[in-house]
Every structure is written in C-alpha cells, then in structure tokens.
C-alpha cells in the first residue's frame, strides 16, 4: 500500500497515515516560475495499490489539478491500482444543469480523474449522492454521521431535536433521528429574490420550544443557511442551538456570521483545514482520519466498505 498526498491539508494525510501505521510516500511537488506544477513520486510504486489523498480545498482548482498530476504519475510508474481519495469533492454542488448553457462540473471533475488514471474514487458526504453515477467504476461514498453522532451523544445525550436546515437535508437528518432516537424538525427556507445569495428562513415544522436543537448539514460555506436556520429556531423558543457538519468550507465572512449567530457550538470534521484561531471560538473539530483509514484498509484488503457504516452510506 502506498499513500501519496499533495500539499493541501497535510495534517489530515499525517493523521490517516498514523491510523494505518504507515509513512506517507514522499512526493516532490514544485512550481515553475509561470505557475505550472511539477510532480515526482519519491519511490517506486510499481505493482502497488496507490491511494492519492487530496482534499479539494482552496484554491480548489489547484488542489484538483495537483491530484490529477499525482494520479497520472502513479499510472505512468506502473501502479497496479489507483484510488483517488477526495475527502471533500470539489464542484459537488454543480451536479446538474439548473438553467440553460451551464456545465455539469461535478461530472467533468470525475471525467478528469478517470482520464488521469483513477480506478476508484473515495469521498465523504457528497453534496449530492448522484455524483457516484458519474464514475464508471467503484465510488465509495463515506459518511461522517457516525463521528458527529458520537460527539452529540457524548456531549448532549439523546434528548435533542435534530433539525434539517432545508428540505434537501431531511433524509440526512432522519438517519440521525433513527440512530439517536431523537425528535425531528425541519426549517422551511426560501431564497430571497431581492438579495442575491441571501437565504430567508420562513418557519419551523416540529416542536423546538425549550429544546436543545442540533442543525445537521453536509457543509458550511458562507454560513447563510445555517445562521438563518439558527435565528428562526431561537425565535421559536429553542433553548440552545448546535450545528454538526461534515465540511467546513467557511468562505467569505462565514466565521464572523457564526460568531454573531445564536449558535452555541459548531462541530465539524477535518475534511478541510479548519482555522484554529480567528473571529470565533465556537468551532470544534472531530477527526475524519479514522474513517478514511478504515476505508483505505478495507479497499486494500478487499473487504466490504459498506460494512464499516452498517449500510448507512447508501441510504
């Protein structure tokens, strides 16, 4: 087994390697004066199972291209099998045409990984699970629900209300409810026609009065959806509001919005680099490294990946 990682998020790579009990395979990555990347794998990978771990963090385009170059290098070095491990999958929100003359960029990213030489793809909590169908090979869609539920159980118990911030996350929230035996609520939101990229939370379906609420989402980008949902939960009498999310994109003024919002704690995994200091102290990070390591080990040993999640990664 060879674990190769790029420059984005080296802390995650090191944590995964520790879980596996191996050292990351050295890889030289340099940049020419015009910005072009040069990649060279530091040791032989001939006949090996190679896992190329790159999370698509900012700048996203560079992270993706770096992964493509490493996959191509491994293929040309006669690797037996190449798995592209993308904890956060770039362009996952562009999984369909929402209007005319638009690309389906998530499909394009999958096509590029295929053309580079990836035999398999691994990712965590895709924005849309249909992206698995863009790849004509094994696509392991992992979930961070187990580690996030562990934090909820340990710190809040089961007497909480699991809240979906919009209709699109209801199925995810329902999985938490089934496992925790908690209650469910749903925030009804609309996109503002007056202000671009502005979310307006309209109402809450479910009883949250006097209850501790946990908002569940796959990612926090600008934090508009989560903050709007937290504010309406507070208006409906929620005693405390927590947030549990997989991907902390945290672009723009997201951290400032979270600090000003009626949110007690934001729990997220380290699929992306999370700032340890800054405008808010509400962030708490739980590691996704054990999940990735167990999955890589299962693939290498030709064991079931679904068994690691009790089938939850397919629901």
What is the chain written as a DSSP string? -EEEE-SS-HHHHHHHHHHHT-PPPPEEEEE-TTS-EEEEESS--TT-EEEEE----SSHHHHHHHHHHHHHHHHHTT-SEEEEEESS-TTTT--S-SSTT---HHHHHHHHHHHHT-SEEEEES-SSGGGGGGSSS-EEEE--HHHHHHHHHHHH-S--EEEESSGGGHHHHHHHHHHHT-EEEEEEEEE-SSSTT-EEEEEEES--TT-EEEEEEEEESSSHHHHHHHHHHHHTT-SEEEEEEEEE---TTHHHHHHHSS-SEEEEESSS---SSSS-S-EEEE--HHHHHHHHHHHHTT--SGGGGTTGGG-
- pLDDT for the residue 312: 73
- Domain range for 242 is 145-287
165 and 262 belong to one structural domain: yes
Say which residue the tokens 């965590």 belong to. 124
Percent of the chain residues past pLDDT 70, beyond the cut: 95
Residue 200 in this model has a pLDDT that exceeds 70: no
297 and 225 belong to one structural domain: no
Domain containing residue 32: CATH number: 3.40.50.2020
Position with higher pLDDT, 116 vs 127: 116
205, with CB counted inside 10 A (0-12, 13-18, 19+), is middle
Catalytic residue list contains 179: no
φ, ψ of residue 2 in degrees (nearest 5): -125, 130
- pLDDT for the residue 167: 84
- pLDDT for the residue 158: 84
153 and 279 belong to one structural domain: yes
pLDDT digits (tens, 9 = 90+) for 152-196: 999 999 899 999 998 888 999 999 999 999 999 999 876 655 555
C-alpha 112/C-alpha 106 separation (Å) is: 10
Contact between 126 and 133 (Cβ < 8 Å)? no
The closest of 14, 6, 15, 19 to 71, measured between CA atoms, is: 6
99 and 194 belong to one structural domain: no
Angle value at C-alpha 146, between 296 and 252, nearest 5 degrees: 90
Angle between helix 10-20 and 289-300 (nearest 10): 50
**Chain length of the chain:** 315
Percent of the chain residues past pLDDT 90, beyond the cut: 86
244 and 159 belong to one structural domain: yes
Name 256's Cβ contacts closer than 8 Å, sequence gap at least 6.
Answer: 279, 280
Find out whether the peptide bond into 204 is cis, omega within 30 degrees of 0: no
93 and 186 belong to one structural domain: no
Q: What is the pTM of this model?
A: 0.93
- pLDDT for the residue 99: 87
Q: What mean pLDDT value characterizes the chain?
A: 93
Contact between 49 and 2 (Cβ < 8 Å)? yes
206 and 265 belong to one structural domain: yes
132 and 213 belong to one structural domain: no
Q: Of 189, 193, 235, 282, which is the active-site residue? A: 189
Name 25's Cβ contacts closer than 8 Å, sequence gap at least 6.
Answer: 2, 3, 4, 41, 42, 43, 45, 50
138 and 156 belong to one structural domain: no
97 and 64 belong to one structural domain: yes
| Number of domains into which the chain is organized | 2
261 and 199 belong to one structural domain: yes
49 and 116 belong to one structural domain: yes
pLDDT digits (tens, 9 = 90+) for 23-71: 999 999 999 999 999 999 999 999 999 999 999 999 999 999 999 999 9
C-alpha 47/C-alpha 39 separation (Å) is: 20
C-alpha 149/C-alpha 157 separation (Å) is: 10
């Amino acid at each position: 087994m060879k674990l190769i990682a790029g420059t984005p998020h080296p802390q995650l790579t090191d944590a995964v390697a520790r879980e596996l009990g191996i050292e990351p395979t050295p890889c030289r990555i340099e940049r020419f004066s015009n910005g072009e990347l040069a990649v060279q794998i530091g040791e032989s990978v001939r006949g090996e199972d190679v896992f190329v771990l790159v999370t698509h963090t900012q700048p996203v385009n560079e992270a993706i291209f770096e992964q493509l170059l490493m996959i191509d290098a491994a293929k040309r070095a006669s690797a037996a099998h190449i798995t592209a491990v993308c904890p956060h999958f770039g362009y996952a929100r562009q999984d369909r045409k929402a209007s005319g003359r638009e690309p389906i960029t998530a499909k394009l990213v999958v096509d590029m990984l295929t053309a580079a030489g990836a035999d398999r793809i691994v990712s965590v909590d895709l924005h849309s699970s249909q992206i698995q169908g863009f790849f004509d090979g094994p696509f392991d869609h992992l979930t961070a629900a187990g580690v996030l539920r562990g934090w909820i159980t340990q710190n809040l118990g089961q007497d909480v209300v699991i809240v979906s911030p919009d209709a699109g996350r209801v199925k995810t929230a329902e999985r938490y409810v089934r496992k925790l035996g908690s209650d469910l609520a749903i925030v009804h939101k609309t996109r503002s026609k007056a202000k671009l990229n502005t979310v307006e939370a309209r109402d809450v379906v479910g009883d949250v009065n006097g209850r501790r609420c946990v908002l569940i989402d796959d990612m926090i980008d600008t934090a508009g959806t989560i903050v709007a949902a937290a504010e309406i939960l507070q208006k409906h009498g929620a005693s405390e509001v927590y947030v549990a999310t997989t991907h902390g994109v945290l672009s723009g003024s997201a951290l400032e919005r979270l600090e000003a919002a009626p949110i007690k704690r934001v729990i997220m995994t380290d699929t992306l680099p999370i700032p340890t200091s800054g405008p808010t102290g509400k962030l708490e990070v739980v590691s996704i490294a054990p999940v990735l390591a167990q999955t890589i080990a299962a693939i290498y040993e030709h064991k079931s990946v679904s068994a690691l999640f009790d089938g939850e990664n397919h629901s």
